[in-house]
Amino acid sequence: MAKKQFKAESKRLLDLMINSIYTNKEIFLRELISNASDAIDKVYFRSLTDKKLSDVKQSDLKINVIRDKENRILTIKDNGIGMTEEELEKNLGTIAQSGTLSFKQTLINDDKDNDKNKKSEETKEADDKSENKMSLIGQFGVGFYSCFMVADEVTVISKSADSEKAYKWVSSGADGYTIEEAQKEDRGTEIIIKLKKNTDDENYSKYVEEYVLENLIKKYSDYIRYPIIMNCEKKVPKPKAEGDENAKQEYDTVEEDKTINSMIPLWKKAKKDIKDEEYKNFYMQKFYDFEEPLKWIHTKVEGQYSYSTLLYIPSHVPYDYYGKEFKKGLQLYSNGVLIMEHCEDLLPDYFGFVKGLVDSEDLSLNISREILQQDKQLKVIAKNIESKIRSELENMLNTDRIAYEKLFKAFGMPLKIGAYDGFGLNKDKLKDLLLFHSSHENEIPYKEDESNNNAENKESEKKENYKSDYTTFKEYVSRMKPDQKEIYYASSESVDKIKMMPQVESVIDKGFEVLFLDESVDEFVLQMMQEYDGKKFANVSANDINLDTDEEKEALKKLNEESKDLFKFMKESLNDENIKDIRFTHRLKNHPVCLSSEGVVSVEMQKVLNAMPDQNNQNIKAQTVLEVNEKHPIAEKLKALYKEDNKEELKKYTKVLLDAAKLIEGLPIDNPTELSNLICEFMTK
């Protein structure tokens, strides 16, 4: 029998198909099963109107995956439309010649013809039955050739629904193929793969192992609408000899057919038909989580672009979430076939914690179906998903504060970074999702969550107001005093440290609420936002914060003017270029001293920036003001030392005050030994 050459003319093209287009070898099984599903779709669709195929029953349609471990042969078998000799020649003899594409084009042309003529009732009924049944994805004609990534030889035996004869196509790759008549009773196609020999780098024998094939089918083809049946091993007990009941039980290994795929995707079911437990179990099994999700979002969109989504909000941070190995992105399906495990383009970074999937019939895929074409359609879907997630989170914040605060404790950091990144490009989208600790105990009215789900145990929730030390910007603004123009905040490593800051105590004592920024990114977010609802953000540690009355301000101004020579000497004695000024203040209540910042960079921002890697030893410094409590006894001591011309003693006091202020702010001091000696000296006088 003469061997025929591929009509694509060159070995180089086939090498490209099997070595470059597909990035991993396991894809071949997805491609062959998808092709088998397409073939079954074709015969089922035709059977709706073709009386010659009236014996086709949907319940009989199936795909078989047959393992022959001993001979290292894998067979993919379907009872679909099959191929004639001419179709084998055309579809398999010409690389990138797709029978599916031709079939689909025929349907399109038929539709055009039907538009010109009045449809019969029978045709209309067939159209109705076939609606959403035609999901042919093998439009490029190269998926079949992926099997050569794992095969030494491929044999295709096929019998067409339009022919009494069957034919066999055999090829070992780019050297060509043969076609001859074959024996086959039933309609359909068998693809018989003789696996390559194992190498040091690749174990090809795994592709006849039960657990490997089962995992691949579940991963890529779990939602193919026809049963995928595989011969699996099963242990059955051997019968014991009579009178030997106490003997150890022995087992025989037998093979039995097992349906591997679940066939109907959960997300394609109507929401009213899905129980909460089904959503939870699907998430825990699909995404390997040991905890139930906080929330899920199930949508179906129809219109210019049609797609379904099933999204989940996890209840905790994955162990690798902040590691380099973590991959954000949603699983992407085309008609139930997994195309991408992590489609990063479907989620913005700040929603990268969301898990789930998107399934669309309208995706513009590239030739290998592994990579999306970057087109308007994908951007539209991504934008809609982002908007849906944001609205659901806002609803969660308003209706189930307990669950939302749990979410925010886990994933608040990416939301804050999202508001800051890109020079605040997304701050308006995210500002109402942000939470901050506050000096105000926030009492949240209980509201019944009317959304379709919440994985928190609602029976255990108390039907009463919820008290929280978290607040939103909107809640803060709603509580502001009528004449208050600024939103006050303070920053440090923890809420406890913030509460101990002298400046905070004074502001709270005057009846103002203070936001407690205890995460490194917090102050940068507020600096980028600048204001909320027309109210500017103000750091209570900034030197321009002054809540005194006009009389108090005037008295303090006069006092600082009278003490300018004292402060000049103290500043010169410190010889610290980062201390821009020294002055008396009224805002410290009972505390003796503090550091306030002047300019864009605050003391807390200085610490954060200098702690970052790759700063090239910039050693960023905030411009600070040393403020001394005018009502504290230390103020009179400083005045007395200067008046008595006791300059050396005044230098020591100034040094101790500066180091004390630095310690309050969590800053390092230059010479701890000197500070210790000075304190001991004062104590022994």
DSSP state of 372: B
CA 312 to chain centre: 10
* Tokens matching residue 54: 């009236």
Q: State the burial class of residue 377 (Cβ atoms within 10 Å of its Cβ: 0-12, 13-18, 19+).
A: middle
CATH 3.30.565.10 in the chain is located at 11-238+249-259
* Tokens matching residue 639: 């005045």
CATH 3.30.230.80 in the chain is located at 266-392
Q: State the burial class of residue 167 (Cβ atoms within 10 Å of its Cβ: 0-12, 13-18, 19+).
A: buried
Strand partners, 235: 253
DSSP state of 542: B
Q: Write out the E strands in 445-585.
A: 466-471, 486-491, 514-517, 531-532, 535-539, 579-585
* Tokens matching residue 641: 């030392």
Tally Cβ neighbours within 10 Å of residue 618: 10
Where b means 16+ CB within 10 Å and e means fewer, 42-51 reads bbbbbbbeee
Distance CA 211, CA 204 (A): 14
C-beta separation of 628 from 584 below 8 A: yes
Q: Within 13 A of 185's CA, how many CA atoms are on the CB side?
A: 0
Which among 330, 388, 391 has a CA at the least distance from the CA of 363? 330
CATH 3.40.50.11260 in the chain is located at 400-539
Residue 109 gets the label, from left (phi > 0), alpha (psi -120 to 50) or beta, of alpha
pLDDT in tens, 627-680: 999 999 999 999 999 999 999 999 999 999 999 999 999 888 989 999 999 999
CATH code assigned to 400-539:
3.40.50.11260
CATH code assigned to 550-683:
1.20.120.790
Strand-strand pairing, 514-517 and 486-491: parallel
Contacts of 181 (CB under 8 A, 6+ apart): 85, 165, 166, 167, 168
pLDDT at 110: 56
Helix (H, G, I), strand (E, B) or coil at 551: helix
Contacts of 323 (CB under 8 A, 6+ apart): none
Length of the chain: 685
Distance CA 589, CA 592 (A): 8
pLDDT at 215: 94
pLDDT in tens, 315-362: 999 888 888 888 899 999 988 888 888 999 999 999 999 999 999 887
pLDDT in tens, 150-194: 999 999 999 999 999 999 999 988 778 899 999 999 999 999 999
For the segment(s) 266-392, the CATH number from 3.90.480.20, 3.40.190.10, 3.40.50.720, 3.30.230.80 is: 3.30.230.80
pLDDT in tens, 515-528: 999 999 999 999 99
CA dihedral 623, 628, 634, 637 (to 10 degrees): 80
φ and ψ at residue 563, rounded to 5 degrees: -105, 15
Q: Tokens 């339009």 belong to which residue?
A: 162
CATH 1.20.120.790 in the chain is located at 550-683
Low-confidence ranges of the chain (pLDDT < 70): 6-23, 93-142, 243, 364-375, 446-464, 614-618
Distance CA 19, CA 224 (A): 26
* Tokens matching residue 554: 């005037």
Q: Which fold has domain 11-238+249-259?
A: Heat Shock Protein 90 (3.30.565)
pLDDT at 125: 45
